[in-house]
Amino acid sequence: MILPVAPRLLIVRTDRIGDLILSTPVFRTLRAQFPGAYLAAMIRPEHRELVDGNPDLNAVIPYDKSGSEKSWIGTVRFAQRLKRDRFDAAVILHSTNRTVLATWLAGIPRRIGYARRLGRLLTDPIPYVKRFGLRHELEYNLDLLARLGVTRRERILTVPVPPAREAEAGRWLKERGIAPGERFVVLHPGASCPSKRWPAERFAETADRLARDFKVRVLLLTGPDGLADGRAVAARVSAPLIEALGGFSLGQTAAVLKRAACLVSNDSGPVHLASAVGTPVVSIFGRWGGGLSPARWGPTGPESRVLHRDVGCRPCLAHRCPIGFVCLSAISVEEVLTAAGQVGKLHPSGTP
């Protein structure tokens, strides 16, 4: 099938925050290749702030896979609505049973995706090689576009930060004693899996050392799912600490990260959010196995750093680790402080 000069294209990404952010180069690449195209992103409704205002998109289509579209009947009804948009092709960046089924039921003529789920319903099934982690997720996303004849590869992450969100962040920071232009470091101790979480006592010591050695303010940030992680760190910190535990929207988080000197974080969505708004990152990794490693999920910012220790476990059992995640414990506070100082251009007290 040859696409029209101005095709109607659906880009599907309905998994996690970081995954969606790492898919934004696909929007940019398609817009550059097909300037007159109608581009729509099918995403989870709770992630809408990450793409609202994206200059490369014409529309955002929320797919509430945890709510109104959770059932198979809900998916069928969603597909019926999707059919009215008359898309020429769907690029399914993360194939699930329901996303593949929805695009098939919607009668979209070209359905391109990795053959991970319901591959027989794809017109262009691509072998699922992501699990080997030989390339970055961003590159795996762009690889799918070759089936549409796309030859260029835009690699810039895009998360718009509206002026209203920047103003909200500025007021919130000012109320906590951080003036415009004042430098601060954000720590993010949350993560979706224990195999990603650097010990709370290490984060706490990092906060104390940043305040003592670099004379810099420290902001402790988590999403709603990371409250326990944040509280465990806060309880161990002696220095003054600014706490933002679970209260920010994604847009507000982006605005605060945009103001930060750097982010120190586990392997989690804020790593890619910070990269998208131009803030350097120190990303702490534990597990190494194939598709779980920093080779696939590390930060993309040019000034960012990955801290990772392969302690020789074969195979890596991730969250089923029987030896207490020694890969994470192998990363020292000194290493994190050195990396934060470098990427955040921080200077120890007493030095110019």
Residues 6+ apart with CB under 8 A from 312: none
Distance CA 276, CA 122 (A): 31
Q: List, edge to edge, every strand of the sheet that includes 59-62.
A: 59-62, 38-43, 8-12, 89-92, 110-114, 124-126
Residues 6+ apart with CB under 8 A from 99: 12, 14, 42, 63, 92
> Cβ of 254: how many Cβ atoms within 10 Å?
26
Handedness of CA 60, 14, 11, 303 (dihedral sign): positive
What's the pTM value of the predicted model, to 2 decimals? 0.95
Structure tokens at 347: 């200077």
Instruction: List helix spans (H) across the chain.
Output: 17-21, 24-33, 72-83, 97-105, 137-143, 163-175, 200-213, 227-234, 250-259, 269-276, 294-297, 326-329, 333-343
Q: What is the pLDDT along the chain (352 residues), one digit of tens a residue?
A: 688 989 999 999 999 999 999 999 999 999 999 999 999 999 999 999 999 999 999 999 999 988 888 888 999 999 999 999 999 999 999 999 999 999 999 999 999 999 998 999 999 999 999 989 999 999 999 999 999 999 899 999 999 999 999 999 999 999 999 999 999 999 999 998 899 999 999 999 999 999 999 999 999 999 999 999 999 999 999 999 999 999 899 999 999 999 999 999 999 999 999 999 999 999 999 887 778 889 999 999 989 999 999 887 888 787 888 888 889 999 999 999 999 999 999 988 746 4
pLDDT value at position 163?
97
Residue with tokens 């650097």: 198
Q: Do residues 221 and 239 touch, judged by C-beta distance below 8 A?
A: no
Structure tokens at 219: 């902001």
pLDDT value at position 323?
84
Q: What are phi and psi of 8, to 5 degrees?
A: -105, 115
DSSP letter at 88? S
pLDDT value at position 239?
97
From residue 172, alpha-carbon distances to 161, 167, 216, 271 in Å are: 16, 9, 18, 21
Structure tokens at 315: 């195979």
Give, to the nearest 10 degrees, the angle between helix 200-213 and helix 333-343. Answer: 50
pLDDT value at position 69?
86
Domains, the chain, ordered by start: 8-148 (3.40.50.2000), 163-343 (3.40.50.2000)
pLDDT value at position 117?
84
